[in-house]
A and B are shown apart, each in its own frame.
Chain A
Amino acid sequence: MDSPLKLTVEMSRAYTKGGLEEVLGMCDDLVSGQWIPDDLSETIREQVFNAIDEQTFSSIDIVTGGPEAPATENPLEDDGLVAIFEQDMEQEKGSDDGEETSEEYSLESETPAEEPEEAAADEEEVQEETPEDTADQPEEVPAEEPSEESSEEPEAVAEDVPEEAGEIEEVVEVEEIETPEEAPSELAEEVRKDAEIIREELEDLEPEDYPMTEETYYKARWWALIPYAIVAIPLGLIGVVICAAVTLAILAVAAALVAACVLGASLALQNGMDVLADIILVAGAALIAAGLALLVIWLAVWFASNTIGGIVGGLYRLGRKWCYKEVVEK
């Protein structure tokens, strides 16, 4: 597992199975070491550890209603999981546009909250500078990011970061401070919406984008398959021939009706009947023939597809059930 996307796919599957609480429990188990994917690389694990920090744990406890949820005085800490989802989305967009960087990704989750007054003062300036500054930063893959930064103290990290990145974080914090009365239920609703967006995007992925953990194939039972073929093929052929004959009979009726329709139309339009009432009468008969012909043609098609297709498909399914054994290989 050398990509965060595959880990995200695992979490998406967990979300499909058990909803948001299942995913959050998965994150909890992952960070606490109770669940370690077999092929999860060290780099990805470090990234996950960096992304899911104490803020996320407080969000997990709030959403799941855990009894050990710490009472957070700062409402910013409650939005850790939302920020992670937003970072994921932004990073995905950035990989397409080349505007987002992995430094932002790590800094936004690690930089501590600063005073709201300073952030409010810098808000307008940063909003103008952000697109240009972020565009200037080099694009890096998150897997190549050094993991030493995550072990440093928050203050030291704050000193190391560029000013632009700090201002970006301040803008995010100011926006969060403006709505401190957000209830945990609203937070959970936002997280659910983000998870739904991610799940919809993952559903668009091709199956070859992520590996299946189980592989199913069928193993033939030759001692049953040969007698079954000897009996089923002649019986199936007889049934198919009978059904084909009935279908041809229905089609013959349909052809006669079509011929009647064409004959009536040609008689009414070309053959020169003198009386208009007779022409209308013949045209009416042709229309009736056309309606019945359409119905009978569709009846023939429906009969053929149901009977012949049913016989062949039924024999195939029966043969697979009796003569093949399903083997699941992990």
Chain B
Amino acid sequence: MKATWRIIVRISLVLVALGLICGLVGIFTGGSIARVQNALNTGYDFNSYVDIGKKFFADATKTAQGLYQQVLGLIH
């Protein structure tokens, strides 16, 4: 298990380091986060995704609360 942890952490560190290098290179070569955000908003409807996510977690919370109340009812 420890060996697997070591391998996973090393791979992740390599990926994160590469990502940081790419990000820094992109910024230093004239990249703009605002342009990326514009491209994302143009290509994808993020607000709808956020709404879907919010609805999903709200439903999950309600289900968990319902299960909890049922378990409490069974115990009492």
Contact = CB atoms under 8 A, between A and B. Distances in A.
B58 interface: no
A233 interface: no
A245 interface: yes
B21 to A, nearest CB: 7
What bracket does the count of chain A residues touching chain B fall in?
A: 20 to 34
Contacts of B66: none
Q: Which of A284, A288, A295 has the most CB of B within 10 A?
A: A284
Given A298-B4, A298-B5, A281 B39 contact: no
Interface string A48-60: 0000000000000
Contacts of A287: 15-16, 18-19, 22
B40 A267 contact: yes
A302 B44 contact: no
B5 A302 contact: yes
A89 interface: no
Contacts of A120: none
A131 interface: no
A5 interface: no
Contacts of A267: 36, 39-40, 43
Contacts, number: 95
What bracket does the count of chain B residues touching chain A fall in?
A: 20 to 34
Given A271-B43, A295-B9, A298-B5, A280 B14 contact: no
Interface in A268-295: 271, 273, 275-292, 294-295
A197 interface: no
Interface in A193-211: none
A271 B24 CA distance: 22
Contacts of B25: 277, 280, 284
B39 A294 contact: no
Contacts of B22: 280-281, 283-284, 287
Contacts of B4: 298
Interface in A236-293: 238, 245, 263, 267, 271, 273, 275-292
Nearest to B4: A298
Given A277-B31, A281-B26, A291 B15 contact: yes
Interface of A: 238, 245, 263, 267, 271, 273, 275-292, 294-295, 298, 302
> What are the 5 closest A-B residue pairs judged by CB atoms, nearest first?
A284-B22, A291-B15, A281-B26, A287-B19, A277-B31
29 contacts: A238-B71, A245-B64, A275-B30, A275-B32, A277-B25, A277-B29, A277-B32, A278-B32, A279-B26, A280-B25, A280-B29, A280-B31, A281-B31, A281-B33, A281-B36, A282-B26, A284-B18, A284-B21, A284-B22, A284-B24, A284-B25, A286-B19, A287-B19, A290-B15, A291-B15, A291-B19, A295-B8, A298-B5, A302-B1
